Amino acid sequence: MLHGFRWPRAGFTGIRVYIVLHNLEEAAAEYIQQPLTTELLAESFHKTQADLVTRLPELSFIEQYDPADETSGTVSQDYAYISTRVLEIPEDGSGGSGGANIEDCVEQGSGLTDDQTAALEELRDRLAPGEKIGWYLVYNGDPERWFPDSEDEEDYESEEESEDECQTQRQSQAQGQKGDSFTEPTSPQSYTTRLTRFWNRMSSG
C-alpha cells in the first residue's frame, strides 16, 4: 500500500513524454520501477523538480505488476505511482509496525508535514493534474521485473563472440607473417665492421 498519486503513462505530462523530453534514453517508460529507470528518473527529478523533491525525501516510483497475469494489459499498465510512503503488507493482511492493519494506517494519515503536503500537491499538478492524492493498494509480485535474455539477443552475442575470435586469429596470423619476414636493423657496429673489411680489400688490391 502506498500514499501518493497515479502518474499516467500517456498524455503530455505523462511518463512517456517526460522520458523523451528529458532525453532519458535508457529509461523504460513502460516500467519505471526497473532499477536503472528509477535511478534515471530520480536524477532527472532532482534537476527538473528540485524545489519539490528536496522537500520529499522518501519519494519513490511504484508499479503494479502481477507475474502470474499473462494478459496483454499486465505488460504495461496505464498508470505508475509516485509515492511518499510505502507500506508492505504481508499475506495475513497486517501492515506497518506493531501489527497495525490497513484501516489503522489510513487513519494515521500520510505522515507528511504541511510543507511536504504542499510540495506533493504541486508535483501532482505538474505531472498528473487532476489525479487524486491518497492511499492506493498496489500489488507487485516482482518489483525489478527480471526476465531472461531473448533468443535474438543470445544469437547476437554469439555472432559478436565469433567475430571477435575471427579477428583475433587474423591479427595473430598477420603478426606471424610479419615475424617471418622481419630483419633485425643493422647496428652501427656491424656496419663499421663491413666498411673496414671493404677498405682492407681495396687497400690490398
For 173-182, what is each residue's pLDDT tens digit?
Answer: 655 555 554 4
Put the strands of the sheet holding 79-86 in their side by side order.
Answer: 60-62, 79-86, 2-8, 134-136
Q: Which residue has the higher pLDDT, 96 or 8?
A: 8
Q: Which grid coordinates are listed for 148?
A: 531472461
- Give the phi and the psi of residue 92 in degrees, each rounded to 5: -80, 0
Contact criterion met (CB below 8 Å) for 61 and 173? no
Instruction: Name all contacts of 195-200 with Cβ < 8 Å and 24+ positions apart.
Output: none
Task: In whole angstroms, give the CA distance from residue 75 to residue 140.
Answer: 12
Work out the pLDDT band at 186, boundaries 50, 70, 90.
very low
Q: Which grid coordinates are listed for 1?
A: 500500500
Position 42 pLDDT exceeds 80: yes
Residue range 107-159, pLDDT digits in tens: 888 899 999 999 999 999 999 999 999 999 999 887 776 654 444 445 545 55
User: Where do the H-state alpha helices sit in the chain?
Assistant: 15-21, 35-48, 50-53, 102-108, 114-127, 151-180, 188-204
Span 20-36, mean pLDDT? 95
Residue range 46-88, pLDDT digits in tens: 999 999 999 999 999 999 988 887 776 666 899 999 999 998 8
Q: What per-residue confidence (pLDDT) applies to 101? A: 66
Q: What does pTM read for this prediction?
A: 0.67
Q: Which grid coordinates are listed for 49?
A: 523538480
Q: What per-residue confidence (pLDDT) applies to 194? A: 52
Q: Please choose, from the candidates 35, 104, 32, the residue with its C-alpha nearest in 3D space to the C-alpha of residue 62.
A: 32
List CB contacts of 137: < 8 A, sequence separation 6 or more. 1, 102
Q: What per-residue confidence (pLDDT) applies to 189? A: 47
Position 43 pLDDT exceeds 90: yes
Q: What per-residue confidence (pLDDT) applies to 205? A: 55
Q: Which residue has the cell 565469433?
A: 162
